[in-house]
Amino acid sequence: MKERITVIVPCYNEQEAFPVFYRELCRVMEEMKDCEFEVIGVNDGSEDDTLSVLKELAEKDDRVRYVSLSRNFGKEAAIYAGLEYSSGDYVVIMDADLQDPPELLPGMLSAVREEEYDSVATRRVSRKGEPPVRSFFARMFYRLIHRISRAEIVDGARDYRLMTRQFADSILKMGEYNRFSKGLFLLYLRLSQINGSCLREAGEMSLRGRRYANSDHLYCAVFSQAPWIF
């Protein structure tokens, strides 16, 4: 019996990017003939036609499912919703913009299967093509989190990862309301890492300005070992 891989794709205004992502993912799924796939697109309150795109693909391909949130709750909530609906022996989290290359999946699966890792994570090694302001704040965030927390979150760490069913179920059991997945995943041992770098293929980055800063502030507060003075 083939093992199943669930691919969770958080989506916010990805009507242009998702079809491109889907074509690339299909190519990789066809190569991985020893597995069956489930693709869950999580519509995080998109303001464009992302939900329509997901519905259309679900009608054409029985491997595709979708979850639609009532409003924009944020990427962490979308990831959690996808985990709740996942049924695979392995679970993958990846973005729809192809900055998380689907072609890395075979190697990630091999690391979990053959090297007995619970999770394989990815890291962006270059910020080429990213807006300078976003790059600046990202670097400042990682520098700050290293100073105030014992969590070893590397600069460029991404949400793109493959994990075992047991690992995914353990994450779901955690009662965190303000979740920071990159930090939660580090609470578990046996984690490997793959390096890579790709540019967004279509659409625009959706996490901007004040919201991006608020997210960083929240994550620092959640994982800080140092006292906060207000």
- Condensed to tens digits (0 to 9), the pLDDT of residues 146-173 reads 666 665 666 566 789 999 999 999 888 8
210 confidence band (pLDDT: 50, 70, 90): very low
HEC-encoded secondary structure of 70-128: CCCCCHHHHHHHHHHHCCCCEEEECCCCCCCCHHHHHHHHHHHHHCCCCEEEEEECCCC
pLDDT at 192: 47
CB 21: neighbour CB atoms within 10 A?
A: 26
Residue scoring higher pLDDT (138 or 193): 138
- The mean pLDDT of 74-92, rounded to a whole number, is 94
- The mean pLDDT of 127-146, rounded to a whole number, is 64
Q: How far apart are CA 20 and CA 2, in angstroms?
A: 27
Q: Are 24 and 102 in contact (CB under 8 A)?
A: yes
pLDDT at 24: 97
Q: What percent of the chain has pLDDT over 70?
A: 61
Q: What percent of the chain has pLDDT over 90?
A: 48
CB 215: neighbour CB atoms within 10 A?
A: 17
Q: How far apart are CA 216 and CA 220, in angstroms?
A: 6
- The mean pLDDT of 175-179, rounded to a whole number, is 62
pLDDT at 122: 82
Q: Tens digits of per-residue pLDDT, 10-66?
A: 999 999 999 999 999 999 999 999 999 999 999 999 999 999 999 999 999 999 999
Degrees to nearest 5, angle at CA 119 with 157 and 41: 75
Is residue 102's pLDDT more than 60?
Answer: yes
The two tokens of residue 156 are 């460029």
- The mean pLDDT of 174-185, rounded to a whole number, is 59
Is residue 133's pLDDT more than 80?
Answer: no
Is residue 190's pLDDT more than 90?
Answer: no
Beta bridge partners of residue 191, listed in sequence order = 119
Residue scoring higher pLDDT (177 or 50): 50
Residue scoring higher pLDDT (190 or 98): 98
- What is this structure's pTM? 0.76
pLDDT at 188: 41
Q: Tens digits of per-residue pLDDT, 104-126?
A: 999 999 989 988 888 888 877 66
b (16+ CB within 10 A) / e for 63-91: bbbbbbbeebebbbbbbbbbbeebebbbb
Average pLDDT score over the chain: 78
